[in-house]
Amino acid sequence: MTTYRLSFFLRAAIATSGLMLAAAPGWANHRAGWFPLPEVIAVGDFNEDGNLDMAVINTGFDNLSILLGDGKGGFKLEGIVQADTLPKDIQIADLNGDGHLDLVVSSSWGYDVQVLLGDGHGGFSPSKQIYGDEPWGIAIGDYNEDGHPDLAVSFNGAKTISYYSGDGSGQFTASPVAYTLSSGPGYVIAADLNHDKHLDLATVENINRLEVLLEMAPEASPRSPQL
């Protein structure tokens, strides 16, 4: 369940040549199809056949392509899932505890974050929308340590990272905890950065700065060292 972000150079190549696995000595290219301005790829076993599949953000058409893998490096288009205007990030987790992988997609100019619940067969249906000023990056983790996945979303326009507590059914709090930054944040990652067994957050800001939020939890104020 890894998300890969593509560089500008690779995006340009994909837009003109189709989606391929990167070429290297001993590797073979496998074209998976043609997509309008693909930008971000998330990988997981969406149809639960033991093979990795891909969800690809197509910025040009404001949608997602769901590609099912055959376990040999080949992929076929299973379906198209509509996103909102200018999708930016996609993350994968089982958000409602049914054993199937779900998707979370941010759309910057749509001003929303969509929760798409998976059916275990490669299909996804909308469940929840979160609204804010230019949402960008998404990090899924159990920030309040209650056993349910939560969301951390960076809002570039609002210059904040907001924490949404999940209830384990695919629903998230309507009153998030927001942390204000000095400029607009982009993509965000979650990891235990200081070995205290609590998830922390890191994001990059528009002013070319890396911002680290330690001990990200609703009941605690994060420290914000600037690296």
| CB proximity list for 167: less than 8 A, separation 6 or greater | 148, 173
pLDDT-based confidence at residue 23 (cuts at 50, 70, 90)? very low
For residue 13, what is the enclosing H or E element?
Answer: helix 8-17
> Quick one: CA dihedral 22, 52, 121, 145, positive or negative?
negative
pLDDT digits (tens, 9 = 90+) for 190-226: 999 989 899 999 998 887 788 888 764 444 444 433 3
Please name the residue that has the structure tokens 């509509």. 82
Nearest one of 66, 205, 82 to 136, comparing CA atoms: 205
pLDDT digits (tens, 9 = 90+) for 70-86: 999 999 999 999 999 99
pTM of the model: 0.80
For residues 164 and 203, give the distance between their C-alpha atoms in angstroms, rounded to a whole number. 17
**Cα angle value 149/118/14 (rounded, 5°):** 100
pLDDT digits (tens, 9 = 90+) for 150-198: 999 999 999 999 999 999 999 999 889 999 998 999 999 999 998 989 9
For residues 97 and 146, give the distance between their C-alpha atoms in angstroms, rounded to a whole number. 13
Asked whether the beta carbons of 16 and 7 are under 8 A apart, the reply is no
For residues 224 and 213, give the distance between their C-alpha atoms in angstroms, rounded to a whole number. 5
